[in-house]
């Protein structure tokens, strides 16, 4: 099995410090800080990275299920919104909201919804996030 890795570095205290996250495979490095995580500051944050992973994983899983059932997806556009909130004297990631729009020729809407729900339940990132509330809104585009 493949193991993936990323690296994070943090310098300084929580509110004034700055960090970077480096993705191993691409070598891309992105800054993050308190403001980018809890306010509207520039940079990324762990929740945004989780959202990207969830959206990407769901889209691939959905494409795989559609293909297995004999459909040829033309496009799958997914957004994940991951929420962090105060809880029990700290913070907790509480939910991930998936919204997907897909172009899949010749598919019945009910089958489309069934396969989207199955992808939501079975993609590896959804399974890793199973302690969260995960919702899905799936739309079939022409």
Domain map (residue ranges) of the chain: 6-38, 46-141
* CATH class name, domain 46-141: alpha beta
Does 142 or 66 have the greater pLDDT score?
A: 66
User: Across residues 59-87, what is the average pLDDT?
Assistant: 97
Please tell me the predicted confidence (pLDDT) of residue 13. Answer: 96
According to the model, what pLDDT value does residue 24 have? 87
Q: What is the mean pLDDT of residues 56-76?
A: 98
Question: Is the pLDDT assigned to residue 1 strictly greater than 90?
Answer: no
Please say if the pLDDT value at position 19 is more than 90.
Answer: yes
User: pLDDT-based confidence at 142, cuts 50/70/90?
Assistant: confident
Q: Is the pLDDT of residue 25 over 90?
A: no
Per-chain mean pLDDT for the chain: 96
Distance from C-alpha of 122 to C-alpha of 51, rounded to nearest angstrom = 16
Average pLDDT of the residues in 115-128:
98
pTM of the predicted model, to two decimals? 0.93
Q: Stretch 10-33: mean pLDDT, rounded? A: 94
């Amino acid at each position: 099995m493949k193991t993936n890795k990323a690296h994070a570095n943090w310098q300084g205290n929580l509110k004034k410090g700055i960090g970077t996250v480096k993705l191993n495979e691409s070598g891309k490095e992105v800054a993050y800080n308190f403001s980018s995580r809890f306010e509207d500051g520039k940079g990324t944050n762990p929740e945004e990275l989780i959202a990207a992973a969830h959206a990407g994983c769901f889209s691939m899983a959905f494409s795989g299920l559609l293909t297995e059932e004999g459909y040829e997806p033309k496009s799958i556009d997914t957004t994940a919104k991951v929420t962090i909130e105060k809880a029990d004297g700290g913070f907790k990631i509480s939910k991930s909201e998936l919204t997907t729009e897909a172009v899949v020729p010749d598919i019945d809407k009910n089958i489309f919804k069934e396969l989207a729900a199955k992808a939501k339940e079975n993609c590896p990132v959804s399974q890793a996030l199973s302690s969260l509330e995960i919702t899905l809104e799936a739309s079939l585009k022409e």
